[in-house]
């Protein structure tokens, strides 16, 4: 029933796919493959200490692949929904706290717009599973 119009999980599948591609695989590849000098210039890591960001990038890719695989499931269990909810909520809280503490300096309008879009994707990924958690068995 994953590909029919009557699929009750269709909106959630779309959110999982978008978050898996944009936030998971996209941001993960960015952290994993971006040169260290760029990361230092962007203020993401101290000079010479880029392995934590590389590790975070690899983890983001893993979570993104999890979301893409979860979106393909015929039935979404409560455990899967809870994992997606917690992951997206943690991403949203990390982004919000980094912004409020001024740890995340975004100079350009494009960067600010990208930050807002990613934050909204995280919020959608947090809110969407709530509807299905109540109705699933």
Q: Is residue 2 part of a domain?
A: no
Q: Is residue 35 part of a domain?
A: yes
Helical residues (DSSP H) of the chain, grouped into ranges: 10-19, 27-33, 36-41, 51-70, 78-100, 109-135
Give me the residue label for tokens 């740890």: 103
What per-residue confidence (pLDDT) applies to 92? 94
Q: Is residue 5 part of a domain?
A: no
Query: 77-124: per-residue pLDDT in tens?
Result: 899 999 999 999 999 999 999 889 887 777 678 878 888 899 999 999
The residue segments making up the domain with residue 126 are 10-135
Q: Is residue 4 part of a domain?
A: no
Q: Per-residue pLDDT for 2 more than 90?
A: no
- Total domains in the chain come to 1
Q: Is residue 129 part of a domain?
A: yes
Sign of CA dihedral 11, 133, 94, 39: negative
Q: Is residue 57 part of a domain?
A: yes
Q: What is the C-alpha separation between 50 and 40, in angstroms, rounded?
A: 9
Q: How confident is the model at residue 46 (pLDDT cuts 50, 70, 90)?
A: low
Q: Is residue 51 part of a domain?
A: yes
Question: How far separated are the first and last CA of the chain, in Å rounded?
Answer: 17
Vertex 63 angle, CA 59 and 65, to 5°: 115
């Amino acid at each position: 029933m994953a590909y029919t119009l009557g699929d009750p999980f269709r909106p959630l599948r779309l959110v999982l796919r978008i978050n898996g591609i944009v936030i998971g695989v996209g941001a993960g590849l960015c952290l994993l493959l971006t040169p260290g000098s760029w990361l230092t210039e962007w203020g993401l890591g101290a000079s010479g200490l880029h392995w934590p960001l590389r590790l975070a990038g690899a983890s983001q890719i893993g979570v993104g692949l999890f979301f893409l695989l979860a979106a393909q499931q015929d039935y979404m269990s409560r455990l899967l929904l809870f994992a997606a909810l917690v992951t997206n909520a943690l991403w949203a809280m990390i982004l919000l706290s980094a912004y409020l503490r001024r740890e995340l300096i975004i100079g350009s309008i494009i960067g600010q717009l990208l930050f807002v879009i990613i934050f909204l994707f995280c919020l959608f990924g947090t809110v969407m599973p709530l509807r299905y958690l109540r109705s699933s068995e």
